[in-house]
Amino acid sequence: MSEDTFRNTITLTDAARMTGPSVFNIMIKPCGSVCNLDCRYCYYLDKASLYGGHEPKMSDELLEKVIKDYAESVDMPEITFNWHGGEPLVAGIDFYRKAVELERKYCGDKLINNTLQTNGTLVDSRWADFFAENRFLVGISIDGPQNVHDRFRSSKSGEPSFRSVMGGLLALRRAGVEFNTLTAVSKASEGHGAEIYSFLKAAGSHYMQFLPVVEKVVVRRPEDVLAAQRSRNAKDA
């Protein structure tokens, strides 16, 4: 390679400098997989077994460290905190009041954004006023009208959750909170596409996200299937 060619070569490091500061978002799960619902298709509830029976909750010390370190690592004029779960509202409203206080302490002049994904069942006027005051963008998990939603989304005691979710959604609307919807597309949705869309639109959702529920399928080798069949035949003989 000639000296001129080498001089004109742009490396990945050069390209990164030319495009400006790097941007990334952080997702914080203050209570891990803990949730007040027991949705039948949820892949995350089983994670609770990793905590040895304890319900995890982020300590105030760890919360402050996460916010401080993240704020110091972002060299953009805007910073976004994404709160997720499980059900993040299980952490309690005082946890988020503390979080907002720490954001203001460590983020300086940066424009602070907060997003939060919730099943909506714990949202009341107090939560809604807090979200409105602090400009939270809230995602509501709702699968459609009651006949579709309640098929898989129930409480720990098996009670349907639709009415509670709608109560939370209405509280957000009354407080003027910006929200969007996250809808799981499952077998219960089959044949109800137009109905679900019309329902979400009527509920005030201007930004809809649809997440397919994909069942885990174990692919077995033909030789394994034959071996299992021979074993069953031997037991029957």
217-225 average pLDDT score: 57
**Residue 212 sits in which domain range?**
20-236
Bridge partners of residue 184, in order along the sequence = 211
Asked if the structure places residue 138 within a domain, the reply is yes
More confident residue, 15 or 142: 142
In this structure, what are the phi and psi dihedrals at residue 182, rounded to the nearest 5 degrees? -120, 120
Number of domains in the chain: 1
63-71, long-range: CB < 8 A, 24+ apart: 63/30, 63/95, 63/98, 63/99, 63/102, 64/102, 66/26, 66/28, 67/99, 67/102, 67/103, 67/106, 67/107, 68/102, 68/106, 70/26, 71/103, 71/106, 71/107, 71/108, 71/110
The average pLDDT across 12-28 equals 66
Q: Quick one: which of 225, 114, 93 has its CA closest to 178? A: 114
More confident residue, 49 or 165: 165
Mean pLDDT of 214-232: 61
pLDDT at 6 over 50: no
Instruction: Give a yes or no: residue 160 inside a domain.
Output: yes
pLDDT at residue 170 tops 60:
yes
Residue 98 in domain = yes
Binned at pLDDT 50, 70 and 90, residue 22 comes out as low
Asked, for residue 12, whether it belongs to a domain, the answer is no
What does the pLDDT average to over 49-69? 85
- Looking at the domain assignment, is residue 2 inside a domain? no
Residue 5 within a domain: no
Asked which of 23-27, 80-84, 155-159, 197-201 is least confident by mean pLDDT, the reply is 23-27
| Among 24-38, 99-113, 135-149, 222-236, the least confident range | 222-236
- Top-confidence residue, 47 or 20: 47
Instruction: Determine the average pLDDT of the residues in 103-112.
Output: 95
The pLDDT assigned to 18 comes to 59
**Contact (CB, 8 A) for 145 and 115:** no
Q: How far is CA 110 from CA 22, 71, 105, 201, 216, in A?
A: 15, 9, 11, 34, 42
* CATH code for the domain in which residue 67 is found: 3.20.20.70
The average confidence (pLDDT) of the chain is 87
The dihedral through the CA atoms of 164, 99, 29, 35 has a sign that is negative
Q: Is residue 32 part of a domain?
A: yes
Does 1 map to a domain? no
Q: Which of 12-16, 188-192, 195-199, 211-215 is predicted least confidently?
A: 12-16
pLDDT given at position 129: 98
pLDDT exceeds cutoff 80 at 183: yes
Task: Give the number of other CB atoms < 10 A from CB of residue 107.
Answer: 19
Task: Look at 36-45, 81-90, 110-119, 181-190 and tell me which has the smallest mean pLDDT.
Answer: 36-45
pLDDT band, very low/low/confident/very high, at 3 (cuts 50, 70, 90): low
Structure token digits, residue 19: 């495009």
Q: Which range, of 1-5, 55-59, 125-129, 219-223, averages the lowest pLDDT?
A: 1-5
Residue 93 has pLDDT above 50, yes or no: yes
